[in-house]
Amino acid sequence: MDRLIIHGNKPLKGEVRISGAKNAALPIITASLLAAGESSVFRVPDLRDVATMGKLLENMGLSYHYAGGDVSIDTTGIRHFEAPYDLVRTMRASVLVLGPLLARYGKARVSLPGGCAIGARPINLHLMGLEKMGAKILLEAGYVVAKAGRLKGASLYFDTATVTGTENLMMAAALAKGTTVIENAAREPEVVDLADCLASMGAKIQGAGESIIEIEGVDELKPIRGHEVIPDRIEAGTFMAIAGATGGDLLLRGCRPDHLGAVMVKLREAGITFRETKRGIRVIGPEKLAPADIKTRPYPGFPTDMQAQFMALMALADGTSIIKETVFENRFMHVAELRRMGAIIDIDGGTASVKGVGALKGAPVMATDLRASASLVVAALRADGESIIDRIYHLDRGYERMDEKLRKVGAEVERVTS
């Protein structure tokens, strides 16, 4: 199992190239299931979760190749319509095969994901939508077993805006008979990227990025022809937090500041300066960070996937910040680890009160989930002395070669395999 050894307090300066977005690449890869023949997707990050998705498709009999960010998938050989527990357990996004399999092949058997480190994370809204579109769904021995003739368009409403739920149902509706309307749809840029990809395959979708999406089903879709995945806004936000924590000066290349509105407003409040240049966005950390409050919300609100990294930053600020997590019920697992590094944080339900301490101290800590690990990296880069971050496989699920990118800008980071 790999761990990172970080010696903090080094000045960080230089360029960081932002990778393709994990949470856009995963649904786009599953969209290939909607068409016959060979699809290609570009700017796909080299991540554990992407490799798991590849394994899942190969397990179904598809051919899947990844080379230098380009993915090709051939759906011709498909013979199993199943996402087994072993793969779903390691990556919840596996549930994204449900909509496409049901829409194109009329059957799917997908393991129920179960809870995870950040909350219960049910998929009831995905299932409700598919049932309304005519699918028969049974729960058998921990699996969702779904069958359908051709799905029918339906009027759907989500009580809670769900990202992968919106994506699953948008993909199912693309091949359904008639029109589907999704109200209170998720508005994340990753939903829009998937809709753009589906449109390039021949789907008729209006309103992606707004809270009402209308999909007019078509009889057939073409394979994906070289769709380029959007840049990862959470990776970019994480490097912004790193520049802020270390008083660094980083030029982020290939990122989309228009996807980072709320994050940049809050980072500015904390004292970070942004300069948009022709080559990218320059992020300059202040000498002393100011406190700032956040409340996580669905897009365009402050993303829950940046909450942990922002908390690490506020642990260093000059004053107290209030951090409210409203999307997931258990997303404060990083707090205990940050405290081991000297952070002063009180938790009351979904609210954390963070009393900034100016500087943290290196310590051995444990990564508990993807974004929690990123927050420990932010903290360790600004801690005195050595930090050892264990269970770094969580970080590798969602950040492409983060240790390499950090070394290139002057951080002292070593990966050790034990």
By the criterion CB under 6 A, which residues form the site for ligand EPU?
Answer: 23, 26, 92-93, 119, 121-126, 160, 162-165, 186, 190, 304-305, 327-328, 370-371, 398
Nearer to ligand EPU, 12 or 53 (CB): 53
Beta bridge partner(s), residue 286: none
8 A C-beta contact, residue 78 and residue 106: no
C-beta closer to ligand EPU: residue 122 or 209? 122
> Which uninterrupted H or E stretch holds 80?
none
Whether 197 is catalytic is no
Q: How far is CA 99 from CA 159, 200, 411, in A?
A: 19, 18, 43
Nearer to ligand EPU, 66 or 290 (CB): 66
Nearer to ligand EPU, 45 or 398 (CB): 398
CB of 71 to ligand EPU, least distance (A): 16
Return the SS3 of 32. helix
| Beta-bridge mates of residue 347 | 352
Assess contact for 314 and 302: CB atoms under 8 A: no
What are the tokens at 122? 């049910």
- Active site residue: 86, 115, 116, 318, which one? 116
- Whole-number minimum distance, CB 284 to ligand EPU, in Å? 27
d(C-alpha 105, C-alpha 172), whole Å: 11
Nearer to ligand EPU, 125 or 197 (CB): 125
Alpha carbon 218 to its chain centroid, in Å, reads: 29
Contact 189, 263 (CB under 8 A): no
| Nearest to ligand EPU of 91, 289 (CB atom) | 91
What is the nearest approach in angstroms of ligand EPU to the Cβ of residue 418?
Answer: 25
Kindly state the tokens that stand for 217. 């089903």
| Smallest gap from residue 106 Cβ to ligand EPU (A) | 22
Considering the complex, state which of residue 316 and residue 370 has its C-beta at the smaller distance from ligand EPU.
370
Looking at 43-191, which runs of residues are DSSP E strands? 63-67, 70-74, 82-83, 107-111, 136-140, 143-147, 155-157, 179-183
Least Å from the CB of residue 201 to ligand EPU: 20
Q: Name the CA radius of gyration of the chain, rounded.
A: 21
Q: What's the closest the beta carbon of residue 229 comes to ligand EPU, in angstroms?
A: 13
Strand (E) positions, 119-272?
Answer: 136-140, 143-147, 155-157, 179-183, 204-206, 212-216, 225-228, 249-253
- Please list the alpha-helical segments (H only) found in 247-369: 261-269, 307-314, 334-340
CB of 250 to ligand EPU, least distance (A): 21
In this structure, is the dihedral angle defined by the CA atoms of residues 32, 35, 36 and 41, taken in order, positive or negative? Answer: negative
Half-sphere exposure of 411 (CA within 13 A, CB side): 35
Query: Which two tokens mark 262?
Result: 């709320």
Token pair in block for residue 415: 């990966």
Which are the catalytic amino acids?
116
